[in-house]
């Protein structure tokens, strides 16, 4: 997978503005203070990370014919029966009581 596009060493020359509600601004200020950073740095860092996550599964991956054939064969195989998996997935969790 390609390296993240983040490069904090480059000079920041572009401006990005946005409007928030008072509650959103207060939340961002509190979170940035909790991390000991400015609101701008906090928002930029977390928005950049979220953008990378959104784009991560939308990348083009190039593979050889052999690798593609093995990948396609794996997708075509019937699902394996994993003992206990169905019971585990249907068992109550701590979140069911919440």
Task: Report pLDDT digits (tens) over 13-29.
Answer: 899 999 999 999 999 99
Q: Are 41 and 32 in contact (CB under 8 A)?
A: yes
Give residue 62's pLDDT. Answer: 82
Give residue 8's pLDDT. Answer: 57
The per-residue pLDDT for range 25-53, each reduced to its tens digit, is 999 999 999 999 999 999 999 999 999 98
- 26/24 Cα distance (integer angstroms): 5
The pTM for the full model equals 0.52
* Domain boundaries defined on the chain: 22-77
Helix, strand, coil content of the chain in percent (nearest 5)? 55, 0, 45
């Amino acid at each position: 997978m390609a390296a993240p596009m983040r490069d904090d060493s480059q000079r920041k020359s572009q401006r990005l503005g946005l409007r928030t509600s008072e509650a959103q601004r207060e939340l961002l200020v509190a979170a940035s203070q909790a991390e000991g950073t400015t609101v701008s740095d906090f928002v930029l860092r977390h928005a950049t990370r979220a953008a990378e996550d959104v784009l991560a599964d939308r990348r083009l991956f190039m593979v050889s014919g052999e690798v593609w054939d093995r990948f396609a064969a794996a997708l075509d195989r019937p699902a394996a029966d994993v003992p206990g998996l169905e019971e585990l997935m249907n068992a109550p969790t701590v979140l069911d009581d919440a």
